[in-house]
Amino acid sequence: MNKGQRDNIAAITGASAGIGLALTRKLLSENWQVVALNRSDFPPDDSIIQEAVQRGWLRIYKTDDLADYAALRRALEEIKHKEQRIDILFNNAGGSFSKLSYSKQEREYHYELMTVVPYIILMELKELIKSGRLKTVINTSSSALKFTKEFTIANLERPKTFRKLLGPYAASKLALSLWTQSIAPQLAKDDIKIRSVDPGGNNTLRKGGKSGLPLVVTLLMKLFFSPPTHGASRLYEGALGQHRNETGVFLLKDQVAELKFKDQARNVLERIHAIYEHEFCLSP
């Protein structure tokens, strides 16, 4: 396997479409190696991607459902067995869904996928990150979090109502940014920095797919939103830009922004850590 002078290694979840794909292509163009953890396949007609796979610059690990703990465990074990280090972890996988649905663990699916699973991935890959050069974790958040009006752990796990984008999706992104803030001092003991980043408005609609977005947002996205390269640049800057030495912060338009419900940050972290310990680590 010829990796040439590609000294830096990034791990990206949800790397095969949208912002994740744009970020993968950007990093490959800047001589990075990329470890991808995906549910779907990369575009077969993307010459940059296919060359990177052939040369070993892009290494792909697959799981049908990141929120299925058995499948996720198999993929993470494979990564830990085959990879030697990770310089930056981009916890990017996610999505906005069109109706209320639940994971195999019987928790609301946005919350499971975008709040709990990034924590599991961080914990499982922590030793690889500690072995890395940059020791950085970037969690993809969203400015939608500012629309959250009520916030409790119980409502995160089993919402009483459902709204597209501004309901469980927004609350789950807020919870992600809250635990990012809360865990920062703990990770700092291992010289690991962690930040959550809003990638801004991006047109990530897929042909034939249900977006889970309100109709007006879908129309605005088609007409006015930036291509996914915009979001990829935001995540890249969040990792390597002017805030690279800060930890625990939420970056909105490349500026540190305040979070709502900061008093709940420790509660969120404790809850998802309990899920990790008692469900992910102990389940067969």
Report if residue 176 sits inside a domain: yes
Q: How far is CA 176 from CA 118, 138, 231, 279, in A?
A: 8, 11, 18, 19
Report if residue 3 sits inside a domain: no
CB 239 within 8 A of CB 136: yes
Domains: count for the chain: 1
240: containing domain: 8-280
Report if residue 260 sits inside a domain: yes
Report if residue 1 sits inside a domain: no
Rounded CA separation 126/32 (Å): 20
Report if residue 100 sits inside a domain: yes
Report if residue 2 sits inside a domain: no
* pLDDT tens digits for range 6-50: 899 999 999 999 899 999 999 999 999 999 999 999 999 999 999
Q: From the centroid of its chain, how far is CA 253?
A: 18
pLDDT at 152 over 70: yes
| Overall size of the chain counted in residues | 284
Enter the pTM of the model: 0.91
The backbone torsions φ and ψ at residue 12, rounded to the nearest 5 degrees and listed phi first, read: -130, 125
CATH of the domain at 72: 3.40.50.720
pLDDT value, residue 163? 87
Report if residue 213 sits inside a domain: yes
In DSSP terms, 250 is beta-bridged to: 196, 257
Q: State the DSSP H helix or E strand holding residue 127, giving kind and residue range, or none if neither.
A: helix 117-130
